Structure 1
Amino acid sequence: MRKVRRLPFTVYTCLVIGLGVGLLWYTFPLLNLDLGRELLVMLAFGVLAEWLAVVTPQGQLTGGFAVMLATYLIYGPVPAAWVNTLAALLGQGVVNRGNPLRTTLFKAAQYVPVVLGANFIYVLVGGTTDEKLAWSNAWPLVLFIGVYYFLNQLFVYTYKLLRRDENLLLHRPDMLGGEGLNYLVAVPLGLFMAWLYMYISIYSALLLFIPMLAVQFVLQFYLHLQLANRELRLVYEAARRLGGSLNLTELFDIYLRETRELVNFGDGVIYLWSEEQKCFVAETALGNHAELLKDSTVQRGEGFLGRVAEGGDAHLVDDTREDERTSGDMGLIQLYRSLLVIPLVAETEVVGLMVLGDKRSGVFEEEHVRLLTILGGFFAMAFANVRLGRRLDQAVITDELTGLYNYRYFRHRALGDLEQARRLNEHISLVMLNIENFKQVNNRYGQLAGDMVLAGVANVICGQVRDCDLAARYGGDEFAVLLPQTGPTEAKHVADRLRLAVRECVYEAGDSRILVRVTTGLATFPDDAADLDALFKIALKELEGEPQAK
């Protein structure tokens, strides 16, 4: 639930509702009940206008103001206040059932002082009660509309401010523009309805309003279709890429950009689990702080985001400054007032997080949680498929015990590197390594100790070679290292460095300490051999010869 300043908010809401009800009670004797049928017809159209109101990110499109203005011009301020208030109460309360009772009562009640206050200014500047459509009343009527707009926005702004939704007007000036656009449409319609009533009949005026209701209905239907189309497009993109060649950055970049079409957020970032770093790493980010977010990580179980990743449930935070879940959190949490965190779950594993943030409070809704959780499942599945594919590809080319490449893949790569060296007239060297007395290690300390030694030697080799070098487990206790652009002198230095690095390592098996040494053999293309098989033959022959000096 949103945090509010409870006492000021409650007092303000009750005062406005009380003021509206009191003014209605006070002005009831001024209603001309002989016009009850006509007023009921105007009320019915006002209810339909509120019921079919089209909500957009820029505001609300409704013909309710046109009905109010026509009622004011035809019948006066008191009937206009009553019709406007009852239309809002019935249209957004009984019929629509889309708002909480407190909000519905407030919105309906505030129309009474708004209409009467605007009428007070209208009369004050010389507006006449008869012949309101006369040219002499043009300036007072313009002022009436302006004051009505101002008072309406003031009441709503104060209401939102006390609910901690001050961002509605402070950070969303486009909403003011949307309301203004609605007035530009409704004002001419209301004036024309009043003119038709005065010079023809009320029924012709109401017939004019029917197209407005039809436009609202069609536009509302169109917006729902657009939203559904965006949701389906996201699902389609996820499903299409599940069966294709996937680029994770591109995939999740599309996910964020399409999400922004559905949810208006300030910054968004997607974290994916990294086996190498053992944490969630930012894969892609969108927004003003995108560059900062791309360098961020999330540790499982640490902080609010880490706890969400550990628990696996989506979380919506309306105000990070007051929500106990985020209190005391440092870092990126401090950038935002609103947070929406969606775990990306594949089967039962959390493989990532989507984090949406905004500096405004109360931006996200439960509907966003539902939609993005569903869509997140598709993209989490895509990521899981990519990760599984990478693991399978890696398993095919690597030795399971040591993590080095297996001989089959090593030979395939080595043939290509050798051919390149031939074309460029470069040296390429092969270093073979063999663990001395490895069989005795297995016999004395057991196979587990032997496996530990093999993995340890492989780790030493990985730490001593360059990124462009190719290391593999040749078989049993033998290893191979291919050194591109390396002549015999440099290759000997590498072999010596590998022997010394292995000799400095100590492996523990229970209470025993195992010292390991390796012998090496090397061959260089084209000095020693012209093809790969010949290089292996020479290097292995040197490896199996007399032990080298240590």
Structure 2
Amino acid sequence: MLLIPARWAGFRQPRCGWGTGGLPGITKETGEKGLRKVRRLPFIIYTWLVIVLGIWLLYYTFPQLNLDLGRELLIMVGFGVLAEWLAVSFPQGQLTGGFAVILSTYLIYGPVPAAWVNALATVLGQGVANRGNPLRTTLFNAAQYVPVVLGANFVYVLAGGEVARGLHWANGWPLTLFILAYYLFNQLFVYIYTLPVRGGYPLLQWPDALRWDGITYLLAVPVGLLMVLLYNHIGIYGTLLLFIPMLAVQFVLRFYVHLVLANRELRVLYEVAGKLGGNLNLKEIFDLLLRESRRVTGFHNGIIYLWSEEKQCYVVEAATGTHAGLFRGSVVQRGEGFLGRAALSGECHLVDDAREDERTLGDIGFTQLHRSLVVVPLVAETGVLGLLVLGDKRAGFFDDKHVQILTILGGQAAVAIANVHLKSLLDRAAITDGLTGLYNYRYFYHRCLGELERARRYDENVALVMVDINNFKQVNDHYGHSAGDAVLAAVAGVIRDQLRDGDLAARFGGDEFAVLLPRTGPAEAKHVADRLRLAVREYVFEAGERRILVYVTTATATFPGDAAGLDELFKVALKGLEQQ
């Protein structure tokens, strides 16, 4: 088995994974403008240097091929193609048992035929069973095996091994070094190639691929040695008897790899579900969603937009990444731009390259800064509550696996956000008056006790202003109760607009309101009362097409000048209303 990256299934972006058959391709010129493009250039040059080196080595060694053995070599190529077709794919690569073919070819025919068989099998196998790799990737995958085989052969010869001896105890140590050298050289080629696109699937780390690669080597090496023994006793067709079981092992390995990845994904989802099931506030939910999303994708920048009833748009509630500060304060209007259309449709979107995708052309902001984008609407029963937007500067960074997991995470977060909103509404309903939106008397009285205690401790004044609507019964009798309710709500709105931060307003009775003014003396309280009375008088109240004139009466009382306790404070203020 060989370690190689493969294409991410179903999309046009590179894979950074492993398996016999090649390395991840950079589907298009993915270098960024300016400095980012300069940083990408060495890896592009490296890719083509390896391709040219592999082709040149094949050309240089062609005279050493024994074409009389062409039929047998083509059969070995066929074995390699089968291994490619049945490769074990996972989000960042693929695994095969092709090293059994390479090892047996090397011991039977020598290093040059092994290099040719390996290269041809890779080109044909990945050319037919292509997993989205561009031509450049397929060429690289094939070409890099040529110097790997010849380099491992150099170590073998240097250690005293003789290919002509085949399977012999004297070749035991050199053959072990050949296998180790092949493994290490292959890892080196892969590691360098995958540096620009590493980190797309943090649940799968490089040590995982090394371990799985080691498992396939442990299985492929004995099979390859036995294929050599069968060839010596039965011939070329005898090798098929052992290679077929090797292909069966790949199916078992496929289930193992997919089970491991599924288990890790489920663990993340389970942990998130457990945390979201707790008593989290919105900030904690947003931080958790971005943190767990990074565990899955390793993005550059992430934003969570949340719908604001007040502003009637989606506003940034959380952001993380190197440019998070640039996006705070930005908004998304429903139906406008790429993100706005995603919010309107409620559908997930995956963008491989924002510079070429029609959905993002002409957009500014987040979509302009990133090449790869994934947008996951946070959908609950009430609608699209927000958007999870992740971006990466590398083209083709996200894939379908990311979208699947992020969709589930987003769904869990949306339920938690909806629960927080519902709890907030219930809590609000318990302390407010349903008609006016002001505090109800019970909650207001409780808050007043606290304010008076604080004022007593710090020797401060507290003022109470009572507001009564004049002749309110006539409004109900003349215009109807619906008009009376509208007047109550409008008066409450006027009072709310006239207050400072920290002032408290409540509906005290049927047509009476109470306002508590912390750190306010008698003169200031009278000024506030006069301002409230004037604001209500100047407000235009309407009932259908008719205008209603509304006047209010106000009275004030202050602590500790007028009263030593809350009940007495209310009594003084209410008495002032009666006297007017």
Please tell me whether residue 288 in structure 1 is matched to residue 322 in structure 2: yes
Question: Would you say the 8 A contact 2:505–2:513 is kept in 1?
Answer: yes
- Residue 392 of structure 1 is matched in structure 2 by 426
Q: Which residue of 2 aligns with 1:326?
A: 360
Deviations 1:302-337 (A, max 9, x none): 111111111111111111111111111122210111
In the TM superposition, what whole-angstrom CA distance separates every residue of 1:183-226 from its partner, at most 9, and x where no partner exists?
A: x989x999x999989x99989xx9xx9xx999999987675455
Partners of 2:83 and 2:96 within 8 A in 1: no
Q: 1:432 to 1:239 in 2, by over 3 A?
A: same
In structure 2, do the counterparts of structure 1 residues 178 and 214 end up closer, same or farther at CA, with 3 Å as the change threshold?
A: farther
1:78 CA drift (Å) = 4.9
The amino acid across from 2:514 in the alignment is A
Determine which of 278, 298, 315 is the counterpart of 1:244: 278
Separation of aligned partners in 1, 2:484 and 2:199:
71
CA–CA separation in structure 1 for the residues paired with 2:540 and 2:383: 37
What is aligned with 1:467? 501
Does 1:410 pair with 2:447?
no
Q: Secondary structure at the match of 2:442?
A: helix
Q: Which amino acid aligns with 1:447?
A: H
Asked whether the 8 Å contact 1:267–1:286 carries over to 2, the reply is yes
**Structure 1 residue 117: Cα displacement:** 7.8
Question: How far off is 1:289 after superposition?
Answer: 1.7
Aligned twin of 2:488: 454
Matched, 1:426 2:460: yes
Within 2, Cα distance between the matches of 1:331 and 1:410? 45
Q: Take 2:461 and 2:425, find their aligned partners in 1: how far apart are those partners?
A: 33
Normalising by structure 1, report the TM-score.
Answer: 0.74
Q: Does 1:30 align with 2:74?
A: no
Residue 516 of structure 1 deviates from its aligned partner by 2.5
> How many residue pairs were aligned?
513
Q: Secondary structure at the match of 1:32?
A: helix
Task: Show CA shifts across 1:373-415 (max 9, x none).
Answer: 2332221111111111111111111112211111121112112
| Secondary structure at the counterpart of residue 508 of structure 2 | strand
Contact persistence 1:89–1:108 (CA under 8 A) = yes
Partners of 2:328 and 2:96 in 1: CA distance: 42
**1:439 partnered with 2:501:** no
CA distance, structure 2, for counterparts of residue 376 and residue 431 of structure 1: 48
Distance 1:218 1:524, change over 3 A: farther
Q: 1:34 to 1:480 in 2, by over 3 A?
A: closer
SS in 1 for 2:316: strand
Identity fraction in percent:
55
Residues 483-509 of structure 1, C-alpha deviations (whole Å, 9 max, x = no match)? 122222222222122222222322233
Shift of 1:240: 2.9
The separation in 1 between residues aligned to 2:452 and 2:575, in whole angstroms, is 20
Q: 1: distance between equivalents of 2:404 and 2:148?
A: 43
Partner of 2:4: none
- Of 95, 98, 114, which aligns to 1:80? 114
Deviations 1:95-139 (A, max 9, x none): xx6725x76x88667666666688999999xx99x94699xx9xx
Equivalent runs, 1:89-488 vs 2, <5 Å: 99-100=131-132, 131=162, 170=196, 172=198, 224-241=258-275, 243-347=277-381, 349-488=383-522
Counterpart in the other structure of 1:507: 541
Please state how far the C-alpha of 1:465 moved relative to its aligned partner: 1.6
Conserved? CA contact 2:491–2:536, under 8 Å? yes
- Note the alpha carbon deviations across 1:330-352, whole angstroms, 9 max, x for none: 22210111111111111251111
How many Å apart are 1:253 and its aligned residue?
1.5
1:525 aligns with 2:543: no
CA spacing shift, 1:114–1:403, aligned 2, 3 Å: closer
State the Cα distance separating 1:237 from its structure 2 match. Answer: 3.9
Residue matched to 2:576: 542
TM-score by length of 2: 0.70
Unaligned residue ranges in structure 1 (runs of 5+): 7-11, 158-167
* Partner SS, residue 305 of structure 2: strand
